[in-house]
Amino acid sequence: MSEEKKKCGLYMRVSTEDQAREGFSLPEQKERLEAYCKFKGYEIVDYYEDAGVSAKTGNYRAEFERLKEDIKSKKINTIISLKLDRFTRSIYDWEELITFLDENEAYIDCVNDDINTTTANGKMISRLLVSVSQNEIERTSERTKIGLAGAIKQGHIPHIAPLGYKHENKTLVIDYSTKDVVVRIYELYYEGYSYKKISNIFNEEKVLGKDNWRDSTIQTILENEIYKGDFVHGKRTKSPTYYENVVEPIISKEMWEDCQVQKKKNSRSYQRTLTYLYLQKIKCPKCNRILGGKATTKKNGKPYFYYYCNDCKITIKENAINEYFNQFINELVEYDSVVNQFFLPMIRQRFDEPKEKLEKELAKQNEKLVRIRNAYINGAFDLDVFNKETAVVEEAIKKIKEELKTTDCAEELRFTPKDILLKRDIDFLNKMIMNKQYKERTKTWKDYTREEQAELIMKYVDEIKLTLIGSEVIVKEINFRDSICKPCQELYDKGYIDTTKPMLLGNVLGSVRFSNYLPEEEFGEIIMRLQQYYDVHYTEATYYLQEQVFYFNFVEDNSAIVRVFPLEDYYKLDPDNKMEEYRFGIIYINGDDYDDFEITEADNIEPYFNAIPDDNETTIKFENGKRSEIVVKPVKFSEKDSK
């Protein structure tokens, strides 16, 4: 070989990590190789540059393949490169290359590694160096995999957060603003709807403000293991790694698996006929996973539902949950009525996007806009990138401001918090005085279909927690959705929503409607407006804290209490309950007044049920227990009025 003239091809390769780590840029490699050839007296025939390509097995390198073709055609007989790892870090690939060079009487000369494959010793040393390089790669890969596995097990999922989740402190957590969309997708598919039907429904409803839902999007969501709490790393590789229980699940494992085998049934337009009331709401008391639902049909044809955890072998009958849930049912139905009559038109936008959340998101986007501008000023990116990033953030800010404007408009609708309290007082009086008509117009829990009951539970219940007492599974607590119940709690705290409380009334234990403190002018206005419908009265009573009892004679004289409320803000005045007595206001109606209240076919009673007295000053006269005509506010109105 020493007598044969060396016709050289200079091979240069750089991957992005090489350049970042060691500065192996292509110009630097070229300069050093040219200097080496000049020193050795080699003839440079051509240059071969693979930019941004790693030497990993299976990667196609166009210039390296061209170099091999030039070796075959005898255009060159020597490859000059900076290091062995420019070619490969695999012993297998290196042996293939050595064989190829031997067959074509060509050689490799590496500048930094001082390797020359013209001799047996040179080949042996090259094999050792490649072996060391491969070992280093494999060890690095092992360390990376171990670190990645540990991170994934801690919930650090190295992907964009899927719908229903968000990243919080690098951990994937449930995004409660979009979680229910995912649950609904699974439930619709579970019931027999196809990908296409679900996407069509979502497009018609513009779910999440989008009208470009695709069946492929629905399919991807339904096949993603993350929703049952698991994660598959390298899903498209030959050796994917499966991690169980790494994030909080949105869907039970049982339901996820059922949806995977549902495809054949859905293709035959299969639709389920059974409805599970508490699907996706119950968690296992042992492992805290969401329970699956099953049903058995007895000889009488009636289905019996139960919920179970395959892993922990926990089972609970639906009837056992119903027994616990029954104590909340009336309140739930009543609350739903209040929501539909008042909350939806008054704070419609605040259910899914509360105003405070929108304001926080607006602040975040404004901060992001400042960071983008500062980064551009500091030269982090060029003008095109700046314009694109700014446009995205400004569009997000625009949408948030529009939602805030809509929310503000919704809050300025016809109803005030006092209207809600007034309507509930009137409903209570209607139920007592016109019980038959009240029942005809009021839907109770037993009047709901099973599907409507499930929808109501889905809307308001966040989760049902179970506990074990011995081997028996019982309901521990029911948690209602904060985004729905928080506005109600805020109104209760301010005195505009009532609750039922047990109280000692003289020597009789009873329950009364109770509301928190309101200033005198506000509860005075409510009483005046109530008197436009019914001849209610007002009195005051003392509540003795030590005995926890009221003293008055309402039981004896057949009067009925409408509502009780404190005349002072005792939460502030007496936070430690050290006072001996509290003063309370009582709205009541005399027994004679409601016993003598007569309704004829000619009477228009609809305002009692579908309207509330207006807050304009109106003089009302009662004659024979009946009121004269008054100005009212309707409480049922068209959809366009609520926008």
| 15 has catalytic annotation | yes
Q: How confident is the model at residue 69 (pLDDT cuts 50, 70, 90)?
A: very high
Average pLDDT over residues 474-500: 78
Cα dihedral angle (590, 593, 597, 603), rounded to 10 degrees? -110
Residue 149 above 60 pLDDT? no
Output the pLDDT for position 76.
Answer: 93
Residue range 296-323: mean pLDDT, rounded: 84
Q: Which two tokens stand for residue 193?
A: 């709807």
Mean pLDDT (the chain) is 76
Please give the pLDDT value at position 638.
36
Mean pLDDT, residues 534-563 taken together: 78
Residue % of the chain over a pLDDT of 90: 9
**135, pLDDT greater than 80:** no
- Which of the 8 DSSP states describes residue 122? H
Residues 252 and 291 sit within 8 Å (Cβ to Cβ): yes
For the chain, helix, strand, coil in percent to 5 are 45, 20, 35
Report the run of H or E that residue 428 belongs to, with start and end: helix 417-433
State the pLDDT confidence band at 566, using cuts at 50, 70 and 90. very high
The predicted-structure confidence for 473-482, as pLDDT tens digits, reads as follows: 888 888 877 6
Res 53 pLDDT > 90: no
- Side chain identity at 525, as an amino acid letter? E
For 174-194, the pLDDT digits (tens) are 888 788 889 889 888 877 788
**pLDDT reading at 438 higher than 70:** yes
Q: What is the pLDDT of residue 125?
A: 59
Residue predicted with more confidence, 404 or 520: 520
Residue 534: the pLDDT is: 87
- The residue behind tokens 């007492």 is 469
Tokens of 271: 């639709």
Answer whether residue 45 shows pLDDT above 90: yes
Task: Give the span between the Cα atoms of 497 and 512, in whole angstroms.
Answer: 14
pLDDT in tens, 235-270: 766 767 777 787 888 888 777 877 876 665 555 555
- Least confident segment among 127-131, 316-320, 459-463: 127-131
Mean pLDDT of 528-551: 85
| Residue with more model confidence, 33 or 120 | 33
pLDDT of res. 150: 54
pLDDT band per the 50, 70, 90 thresholds, residue 152: low
Catalytic residue among 15, 25, 54, 177: 15
Contact between 328 and 499 (Cβ < 8 Å): no
Smallest Cα–Cα separation from 466: which of 328, 265, 318? 318
The predicted structure's pLDDT at residue 10: 93
Mean pLDDT of 204-224: 88
pLDDT digits (tens, 9 = 90+) for 89-121: 666 677 778 788 888 888 888 877 666 665 666
Helix (H) or strand (E) holding 627: strand 626-627
**What is the residue whose two structure tokens read 């989760």?**
463
**What token pair was written down for 622?**
């009662």
Q: Which two tokens stand for residue 19?
A: 């350049």
d(CA 135, CA 91): 10
Q: How confident is the model at residue 132 (pLDDT cuts 50, 70, 90)?
A: low
Over the stretch 11-24, which tens digit does the pLDDT of each residue have? 988 775 544 345 46
Give me the pLDDT at residue 484, please: 60
Q: Rounded to an integer, what distance in angstroms lies between the CA atom of residue 247 and that of residue 289?
A: 11
CA–CA distance, 464 with 473 (Å, rounded to integer): 12
